[in-house]
Amino acid sequence: MKYRLMTPGPSIVPEETLLTLAKPVRHHRTAENKAIMSEALSLLKQVFDTKNDIAIFTSSGTGAMETAVATFIRPGDTAIVISAGKWGERWSELCKTFQANLIELKTDYGKVVSPAEVESALKKHPNAVAVYGQLSETSTGVAHDIEAIGQIVKKTPALLAVDGISGVGAMECRTDDWGIDLLACGSQKALMMPPGLAYLSVSEKAKRVMESKPAPPTYYFDLRKYLAKAAENDTPYTPAHTLIAAQVESLRMMVNHGMENVWKDAKTMSQAMLAAVAAMGLKPFADVPTAGLTTIVVPTGVDGATWPKLLEQKYGVKVAGGQGSLKNKIIRVAHMGYVDAIDVIGIVAALEWSLQELGYSVQAGMGVTAAAKVFSASFVPPKS
């Protein structure tokens, strides 16, 4: 059975990228590899829409998040965390590990934290070293208004650290214009790669704060070393250089397609999915849906554990369920990275078939018709 990986990480990896991974391994401390690193960094900057320097870590995305905390937070420093789901909670856990004075702006799952709340917290805590948040909160499918939050944080001494792990490449993200000082990303979501690499862009403002702090209590995630080495197209420790070479292939596809187009495509796919969800009488879980991911409330009468299993076992469509308290209450269907309009229409059909099979009343073709109408106004060509 054809397998379609529609989870919010990992996501489908293009064939050209996979083939790059199968190439014979060469040494990593060579002019040839520096050229690959240089291209990777240049492409990442285009995808991040930034002139800032970027560190490449061999780790999961959490490694880049840890670096964004360990570099800047010393015991007692105030850290404001925007917490709208599991990944906001990860920022909080990291801040606790590094003994921050933690100010949590917590909201219910499915809701977003507003820019006004961030503004008020910064007024109350003018010494805050950083504001940590998610561009896209993968656990609930909401998108934060990082543009507006950036305009607020920019006027203060605080840094804005954004987890863009499931957002970058799936929704508009203008690092420099929006004032994102630290943007964390991972390879395995909209950047169309297997897991193994994490990225962190670092603004000049963040560098100044970094230089004012004593050495961080970490060796592997010592950002100072990564930035110094990145300036020479190198890394402080042995990088997963075959993954970096493959990442270049996927990034090239995105940049060749144009980031404006990448963002527009993702938005259209999200609109098509949301139209299908409404047409099928279902409800999205997210108050403000992120572009790369649609979270759907499991309707009454349908078993939340059975639905994703059926989708996988009968239709080969792998979606994610809910995590923690959302277990069996939502499903999460990703449409990020190497996914296009034709994929989305097919996935919507599988949602229809599976719901009918589980006894949920949905008129055949309602979902696909609604989705197809959205696309017909704005066809999404696949990246290639």
- List residues bridging with 320 in a β-sheet: 332
**CA angle 176-179-185, nearest 5°?**
75
Interface with a copy of itself (CB under 8 A), residue total 49
Secondary structure E strands in 127-247: 130-134, 136-137, 142-143, 159-163, 182-186, 197-202
One character per residue 177-216, x = contact with a copy of itself (rule: CB under 8 A): ---------x-x-----xxx------------------x-
Q: In angstroms, rounded to a whole number, what is the distance separating the alpha carbons of residues 304 and 9?
A: 20
Kindly give the interhelix angle for 259-279 and 341-357, rounded to the nearest 10 degrees: 20
Residues 25-44 that bind a copy of itself (CB under 8 A): 25-28
Min dist CB 97 to a copy of itself, Å, is 5
DSSP 8-class letter at 121: H
**CA angle 72-77-81, nearest 5°?**
80
- What are the structure tokens assigned to 225, written together? 């070393």
Asked whether position 332 contacts a copy of itself by CB under 8 A, the answer is no
Q: Which of 40, 52, 56, 59 binds a copy of itself (CB under 8 A)?
A: 59
Asked whether position 292 contacts a copy of itself by CB under 8 A, the answer is no
- List residues bridging with 128 in a β-sheet: none
> Which CB, 25 or 377, lies closer to a copy of itself?
25
One character per residue 96-115, x = contact with a copy of itself (rule: CB under 8 A): -xx-----------------
> Which CB, 233 or 261, lies closer to a copy of itself?
233
Give the residue from 354, 313, 318, 316 showing the smallest Cα distance to 333. 318
Q: Which of 114, 156, 218, 369 binds a copy of itself (CB under 8 A)?
A: 218
Q: Which of 13, 55, 152, 350 binds a copy of itself (CB under 8 A)?
A: 13
Q: What is the full DSSP assignment across 141-187?
A: TEE--HHHHHHHHHTSS-EEEEE-TTTBTTB---HHHHT-SEEEEET
Asked whether position 3 contacts a copy of itself by CB under 8 A, the answer is yes
Min dist CB 161 to a copy of itself, Å, is 15
Q: In angstroms, rounded to a whole number, what is the distance separating the alpha carbons of residues 21 and 5?
A: 19
Asked whether position 7 contacts a copy of itself by CB under 8 A, the answer is yes
Asked whether position 60 contacts a copy of itself by CB under 8 A, the answer is yes
Q: In angstroms, rounded to a whole number, what is the distance separating the alpha carbons of residues 144 and 223?
A: 26
Q: Which residues bind a copy of itself (CB under 8 A)?
A: 3, 5, 7, 9-13, 18-19, 21-28, 58-63, 66, 93-94, 97-98, 186, 188, 194-196, 215, 217-221, 237-243, 318, 320
